[in-house]
């Protein structure tokens, strides 16, 4: 190829091309692909169809993973947000009559409807029970999931006009219906299991708490409620929180055991203003271990009197000081103490004055407590 011919090719951009394997050779130089015109560049903005698929996928993940949420309320709020986005609605109201502990709850506890006042929710619930809902309040989804009552999903505005969803919205509802039923059935089964364990605890005299995987109190036995009833509300809650921390440590230890991490303590002691409690934790497992429970027993430690040997070793008392300490613990006055010991009043008083600092007692009324051990 001559020099003039080559220059002409460079000016026109046309080159003789020879195909060799998968390479395009232009005068023994690999050709570079030309950039696509601006009107053919790929768009970075997702299409409406992609957005709908993304919303559908997100909704299915939320509906099928109730145990990934921190609790039933958190899962229902996530479902509410996912369905609001999926249906493109202005408002969504959910009625999910499920309870993780198997116990009945109030009407408001069955609902997730941020746009409704409590009075409006009560009126809607009453109308739903009578099956005389107006057309614009007809549930889009109504399903039996094995619970005590049917679940319902209402959507308003957006794709729903005058209470009649269009064909596309109805198709979306049919698509998510099995996932919603599965999620609700999971919560219902979890509630039934916890309720059965709770009934088993209540039949005995054991004081215990069932703690879920995220530290929530799934059940508190009747004996435990009685045990903590004479505590202040703040101190009783302190004991429950200590049980939750112990259970969380046990759950974390199970997860970290495979990584060689040390096990968390299985017992602890909690002091309140009035009493001292010993907590001990035992793990229980579900069939798939996605909803583990920890059983935490609560025992009140009853104080016992220290023996003479324990008192002498702890406080370094002489035999006479030990005798004085025992008599003071009975509430004797200095005069009574003198008569019991056969000494003068002043000698008895001197015994008391030397004894109190050794016991760390502020006054004679504190002596009895110093002689009590855990």
Write out the DSSP string of 114-164.
TTS-HHHHHHHHHHHHHT---GGG--SEEE--SSSS-EEEEEEBTTEETTE
| Predicted local distance difference test score (pLDDT) of residue 80 | 93
Separation between Cα atoms, residue 213 and residue 67, nearest integer Å: 10
Q: Please check the confidence at residue 324 and state whether its pLDDT lies above 80.
A: yes
- pLDDT tens profile 155-176: 877 666 555 677 888 888 889 9
DSSP E strands in 22-104: the ranges are 23-26, 29-30, 91-95
Q: Please check the confidence at residue 256 and state whether its pLDDT lies above 70.
A: no
Q: What Å distances lie between residue 339 and 322, 324, 330, 347, CA to CA?
A: 17, 12, 14, 11
| Predicted local distance difference test score (pLDDT) of residue 285 | 52
- Whether the model pTM is above 0.85: no
- pLDDT tens profile 202-222: 887 789 998 887 788 888 888
Q: Which range (55-59, 111-115, 258-262) has the least confidence? A: 258-262
Q: Which two tokens stand for residue 273?
A: 């203003």
- Closest listed residue to residue 93, CA positions, set 142, 58, 53: 142
- pLDDT tens profile 94-107: 988 887 655 556 76
Q: Please check the confidence at residue 354 and state whether its pLDDT lies above 80.
A: yes
């Amino acid at each position: 190829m001559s020099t003039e011919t080559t220059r002409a090719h460079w000016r026109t951009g046309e080159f003789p091309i020879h195909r060799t394997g998968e390479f395009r050779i232009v005068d023994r130089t690999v050709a570079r692909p030309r950039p696509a015109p601006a009107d053919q560049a790929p768009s970075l903005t997702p299409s409406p169809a992609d957005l709908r698929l993304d919303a559908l996928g997100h909704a299915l993940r939320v509906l099928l993973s109730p145990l990934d949420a921190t609790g039933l309320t958190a899962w229902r709020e996530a479902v509410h947000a996912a369905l609001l986005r999926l249906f493109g609605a202005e408002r969504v109201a959910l009625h999910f009559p499920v309870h993780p502990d198997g116990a009945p709850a109030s009407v408001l506890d069955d609902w997730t409807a941020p746009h409704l006042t409590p009075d409006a929710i009560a009126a809607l619930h009453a109308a739903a029970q009578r099956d005389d809902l107006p057309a614009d309040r007809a549930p889009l989804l109504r399903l039996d999931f094995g619970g005590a009552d049917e679940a319902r999903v209402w959507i308003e505005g957006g794709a729903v006009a005058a209470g009649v969803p269009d064909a596309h919205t109805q198709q979306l509802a049919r698509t998510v219906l099995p996932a919603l039923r599965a999620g609700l059935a999971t919560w219902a089964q979890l509630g039934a299991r916890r309720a059965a364990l709770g009934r088993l605890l209540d039949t005995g005299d054991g004081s215990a708490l069932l703690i879920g995987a995220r530290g929530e109190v799934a059940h508190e036995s009747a004996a435990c409620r009685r045990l903590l009833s004479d505590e202040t509300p703040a101190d009783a809650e302190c004991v429950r929180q200590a049980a939750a921390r112990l259970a969380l440590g046990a759950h974390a230890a199970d997860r970290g055991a495979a990584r060689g991490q040390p096990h968390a303590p299985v017992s602890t002691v909690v002091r309140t203003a009035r009493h001292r409690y010993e907590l001990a934790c035992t793990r229980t497992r579900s069939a798939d271990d996605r909803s583990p429970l920890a059983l935490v027993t609560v025992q009140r430690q009853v104080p016992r009197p220290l023996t003479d040997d324990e008192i002498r070793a702890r406080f370094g008392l002489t035999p006479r000081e030990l005798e004085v300490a025992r008599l003071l613990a009975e509430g004797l006055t200095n005069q009574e103490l003198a008569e019991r010991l056969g000494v003068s009043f002043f000698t008895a008083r001197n015994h008391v004055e030397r004894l109190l600092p050794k016991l760390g007692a502020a006054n004679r009324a504190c002596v009895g407590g110093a002689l009590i051990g855990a």
